[in-house]
Structure 1
Amino acid sequence: MKKKILYIEDDPDMADIVAEIMQYEEYEVITDSGKSMYKLLKSNDIGLILMDEGLSWCWGSNLCRELRSNEETANIPIIMISAVREIDDIAQHCGANAYIRKPFEIYDVIDAVNDYYPKGDPAM
């Protein structure tokens, strides 16, 4: 069984690129604009969330704060991805575990996911 990542991103091209990259690393990437985030978290065994800051309908950092304040999702690792200049400060203040600055190198994503995805997953 592949390890599952939820990628909150409303740019389909960016979502496809990251999903393709992570497929080679044995991850399954489920993409969403964030509007179905809770439904997807309930119906899938998500080990990590990648989240864009600049979504068309809200800020990813606000979703990150929501996830951190919810007992059921508070411990899921979250990595923010954004071209926003202050993404380091934003990630720190919303409770994200890490951030990746756009444009990124392929290995920036692979390394961050491998570093923060929970180890010892019994589904492995």
Structure 2
Amino acid sequence: MNRILIAEDETRLAAFIEKGLKKYGFFTAIAPDGTQALNMAQSGDFDLLLLDLGLPTLDGWTVLKQLRSQADNRPIIIVTAHADEKDRLMALAYGANDYVTKPFKFSELLERVQVHLSKEQL
């Protein structure tokens, strides 16, 4: 069973994503701020990270940069309201594997999660 960390401070959105992923057999955990997200990600217990850029305590940019500077190669999918092309390109340059803007359809997010996890298993 794949384990997914959801780093999202919007409680309703985090619960929506978690419910949908659990329905498809994923184990999930929620980190409501950047400090918790970084600590939980560093534990190595997760196969993929869904990361909001606008987290409290540490923003998603900092979490992304710190994980990649530690040679953490797990898939990281940015899930954010930042729809600007500059932000998308910067996130990819910092090592994000994918970028989904809010609002999104759960089916699209699920497909991206499955694609990145299948790449990890090759």
TM-score (norm 1): 0.84
Secondary structure at the residue paired with 2:47? strand
8 Å contact kept, 1:81–1:99: yes
Residue 19 of structure 2: aligned partner: 20
Separation (CA, whole Å) in 2 of partners of 1:93 and 1:102: 20
TM-score (norm 2): 0.85
Give 1:111 deviation, angstroms.
0.6
Residue 54 of structure 2: aligned partner: 54
Secondary structure at the residue paired with 2:4? strand
Alpha-carbon displacement from aligned partner over 1:28-79 (angstroms, at most 9, x marks no partner): 11110222234423545210000001113332122101100013xx211100
Residue 76 of structure 1: aligned partner: 74
Q: Across the two proteins, how many residue pairs are aligned to each other?
A: 117
Show structure 2 runs of 5+ residues with no match. Answer: none
Q: Which moved more, 1:93-102 or 1:53-62?
A: 53-62
8 Å contact kept, 2:54–2:60: yes
Separation (CA, whole Å) in 2 of partners of 1:40 and 1:116: 20
Secondary structure at the residue paired with 1:14? helix
**AA of the residue aligned to 1:47:** D
Separation (CA, whole Å) in 2 of partners of 1:52 and 1:113: 15
Residue 100 of structure 1: aligned partner: 100
Give 1:12 deviation, angstroms.
1.1
Separation (CA, whole Å) in 2 of partners of 1:77 and 1:8: 13
Task: Check if 1:37 corresponds to 2:76.
Answer: no
Q: Which runs of 4+ in 1 moved over 6 A?
A: none
8 Å contact kept, 1:62–1:94: no
Residue 119 of structure 1: aligned partner: 121
Residue 64 of structure 2: aligned partner: 64
Show structure 1 runs of 5+ residues with no match. Answer: none
